[in-house]
Amino acid sequence: MTDNRVLIFDTTLRDGEQSPGATMSHDEKLEIAGLLDEMGVDIIEAGFPIASEGDFAAVSEIAKNAVNSTICGLARANFKDIDRAWEAVKHAKSPRIHTFIGTSPQHRAIPNLTMDEMADRIHETVTHARNLCDNVQWSPMDATRTEWDYLARVVEIAIKAGATTINIPDTCGYTAPVESADLIRRLIVEVPGADEIIFATHCHNDLGMATANSLAAVAGGARQIECTINGLGERAGNTALEEVVMAMKVRHDIMPYTTGIDSTKIMHLSRRVATVSGFNVQPNKAIVGKNAFAHESGIHQDGMLKSADTFEIMRPEDVGLTETNIVMGKHSGRAALRSKLKDLGYDMADNQLNDLFVRFKALADRKKEVFDDDLIALVTDAGSDGEGHLEVKFLRVICGTEAPQSADLTLRVGDEDMQATAQGDGPVDAAFNAVKALFPNEASLQLYQVSAVTEGMDAQATVTVRVEEDGRIATGQSADTDTVVASVKAYVNALNRLIVRREKTGGDVKEVSYKDVG
């Protein structure tokens, strides 16, 4: 690796999935891993193999299928975790074990270890991991709040025990760019053996500085950035892959670093992660938000017409968008729809396109123009209706100024169509009560979110519903010009996912949730 080469370590499938409600299915994880591998991500942290049988199976299959990327499994500082991680990644062409322990005063108090006891455990566990795998990463969780003398001590221990990568996590999003750079620089200068390994940075966004902190760490000498697609992750999220890659590309004059990332695949991957995780990308999100290349101000529009670089520091094509604008409406055919979807990053099989075309035509009959975000919402919603145990067949609601509001619902439960009428405090509540009447459940509603994905009176609404049952969290999403219809379909989609999770975890068995290095 040249001195200016920065490795990209993507942890969307591990840290990103720890966002409450962002759980992905086995097939979704494999799909995202394949896209990351194709994009050129150097290391994919595929999961936490000890967490569940499902996580172990996903990491194992990703390891077997990876063509280009190193596949990494996370493990706590004990032999059982490390052995399980190795079992999951050992079939990869390039496997890695990533083990960690919290070293700050706040985190040392959790296992109730003295500094010396923790130092001994670090030596034992890193040594054990290195005996299994030549590629070992070690992380002192909450490093940025760890006393300097102790951090330097345990980093030296991990290097001597065989760690080939030392990751310095800003687990709580506490540090600032100047501190981030200085910490890496000081470790490299003062810790024996530090010049022989790679330093990595893993930054959280609690203060909105994750990307800045990561780039500052690179300026200080780090040569691996840990990040996620769309910045998905615990609390306020992580450093976003798309932000660091494009920042280095746009500002190569002051950040002369290179990566192996194919940036033209960024937009498609961003949208797929948003779809499978249920976490919409905010419109003003850097690089991948729908407004990132949009201009409304007359001054900006005039400047763009004269020269695109007046108000755009990167080209839409650089992240996988197209400058061509195909106007979609009720007269558009399949060929135009296929071309537009391809421009948006969706390459669909014929049967998928045919199903979506029917939905597109129905939407086009209700709207003057179908915008890009309408199509993305249709793709997001495609396949959710009619799949799973529950399916909405018919819905009619009565609402207005006089309560109570009511809903008539026909729901397919398994192979049987069932009908119920229910009342509630508003049409959505009434419709949800009708679902519960036909499919009794103890799931509690954790999140109900409505967003208009396009402008105007005929705007299509995307509804996100998150439910929780016995520690299992599931998210459903649906889009429709009728907000109540979208709400019920999103609720049913969440219940379908909950049913799948219930089956995978063996009925009453709760899936383990880990809050860890990232």
In this predicted model, what pLDDT tens digit does every residue of 433-452 receive, in sequence order?
999 999 999 899 988 988 86
pLDDT band at 510 (very low <50, low <70, confident <90, very high): very low
Least confident of 72-81, 141-150, 261-270, 330-339: 330-339
- Residue 384 pLDDT greater than 80, yes or no: no
Q: How confident is the model at residue 515 (pLDDT cuts 50, 70, 90)?
A: very low
Q: What does the pLDDT average to over 66-79?
A: 98
Residue bearing tokens 């055919």: 333
pLDDT value, residue 511: 33
Residue 348: band (very low, low, confident or very high) from pLDDT cuts 50, 70, 90? confident
- How far the first Cα of the chain sits from its last, in Å, is 25
CA 128 to each of CA 46, 83, 388: distance values in angstroms, whole numbers, following the listed order: 21, 9, 44
Query: 232-251 b/e with 16+ CB inside 10 Å = b?
Result: bbbeebbbbbbbbbbbbbee
Q: What percent of the chain has pLDDT over 90?
A: 64
Cα angle at 203 between 288 and 46, to 5 degrees? Answer: 75
Cβ contact 46:73 at 8 Å: yes
Highest mean pLDDT: which range of 21-30, 248-257, 313-322, 507-516? 248-257
Average pLDDT estimate for 162-169:
98
Give me 228's structure tokens.
């996620």
Has residue 214 got a pLDDT over 70? yes
What's the pLDDT tens digit per position in 105-133?
Answer: 999 999 999 999 999 999 999 999 999 99
SS3 per residue for 58-79: HHHHHHHHCCCCEEEEEEECCH
Is residue 477 over pLDDT 50? yes
Let me know if 294 is exposed, middle or buried by CB neighbors in 10 A (0-12, 13-18, 19+): exposed
On the question of pLDDT at 344 being above 80, the answer is: no
Highest mean pLDDT out of 169-183, 282-296, 364-378:
169-183
Q: Please tell me the distance from the alpha carbon of residue 7 to that of residue 201, in angstroms, as a whole number.
A: 11
Residue 88 token pair: 């999951």
DSSP 110-153: TTT--HHHHHHHHHHHHHHHHHH-S-EEEEEETGGGS-HHHHHH
* Helix, strand, coil fractions of the chain, as percent rounded to 5: 45, 20, 35
Interatomic CA distance for residues 287 and 179, integer angstroms = 26
Nearest to 176 by CA among 204, 146, 147, 149: 204
Look over the chain and give the mean of its residue pLDDT values, rounded to a whole number: 89
SS3 of 22, please? Answer: coil
* Average pLDDT, integer, range 375-394: 71
Mean per-residue pLDDT, 190-206: 97
What does the pLDDT read at residue 295?
Answer: 67
Distance CA 370, CA 350 (A): 21
Q: Is the pLDDT of residue 198 over 60?
A: yes
Q: Which pLDDT score, from 0 to 100, does residue 233 have? A: 95
**pLDDT (0 to 100) of residue 368:** 64
Name the residue among 488, 461, 313 with its Cα closest to residue 378: 461
- Alpha-carbon distance 291 to 321, whole Å? 13
According to DSSP, residue 463 is labeled E
In terms of average pLDDT, the best of 205-214, 476-485, 502-511 is 205-214
- Whether the CB-CB separation of 316 and 322 falls below 8 Å is answered with yes
The separation between CA 236 and the C-alpha centre of its own chain, rounded to angstroms, equals 12
Q: Which residue has the higher pLDDT, 381 or 120?
A: 120
pLDDT at 498: 83
**Per-residue pLDDT at 327 exceeds 70:** no
